[in-house]
Amino acid sequence: MGLSFRIEAGETLILLGQNGAGKSSLLRLVAGLLRPTTGTIVLDGGDAEQSVGEQAHYLGHQDALKPSLTVQENLTFWVDFLGGARPAGMEAGARADAVADALAAVGLGDLAELPADYLSAGQRRRLSLARLLAVPRPLWLLDEPTAALDIAAQARLAELMQAHLATGGLILVATHGPLGLDRARELRLGAAG
């Protein structure tokens, strides 16, 4: 069975379905972590020199943090890892500002010097979410982004997603719970039942 969908600038598409329906697999396909056997994945208006995955942030189930590094070092590592994919003009001072701003936006600014090993599950998730902000990319691929987040952090995530959408960003998200977004389309995967 084929699958076709389109997301417009400033829009969220929520992937719904039972466990095992293919939501995470679809996100991994778009991120370029899996290869489609047929068909194509295109980001209209994107950078033709980069794959769709290179223009997206993928936030999966695992937070992928280095426990011995501080909160700030983890996020700086992520920014440096992107290397040539960094926005033009992202020099050392701009990088430090982007890291500090992203940590503040997710409520972790006061914990910047704390080793990531000491973070709670919710704080670890918020540090992973800070990656979305430290280096802007047009497409956010989010797999259960509210996992481990308390009510306040879920509200903060909704605000961050709204701000991303307001700049013309796109969000493709798999979730079983509410996201706090005003407008979002839904795509149900798997057999109805």
- pLDDT values of the chain reduced to their tens digit, one per residue, 193 residues: 578 899 999 999 999 999 999 999 999 999 999 998 888 888 888 888 888 999 999 999 888 899 999 999 999 998 887 654 445 555 667 888 999 999 999 999 999 999 999 999 999 999 999 999 998 899 999 999 999 999 999 999 999 999 999 999 999 999 988 888 878 999 999 865 4
Tell me the CA end-to-end span of the chain in Å, nearest whole number: 17
pTM for the model: 0.90
Class of domain 12-188: alpha beta
Contacts 24+ apart (CB under 8 A), 76-83: 78/131, 78/134, 78/135, 79/134, 79/135, 82/135
Distance separating alpha carbons of residues 136 and 116, to the nearest angstrom: 23
Beta-bridged to residue 12, according to DSSP, are: 171
CA distance 84 to 3: 33
102: left (phi over 0), alpha (psi -120 to 50) or beta: alpha
| Domain extents in the chain | 12-188
d(CA 175, CA 172): 10
Q: In the beta sheet, which residues pair with residue 188?
A: 16
User: 32: which 2 tokens?
Assistant: 């370029």
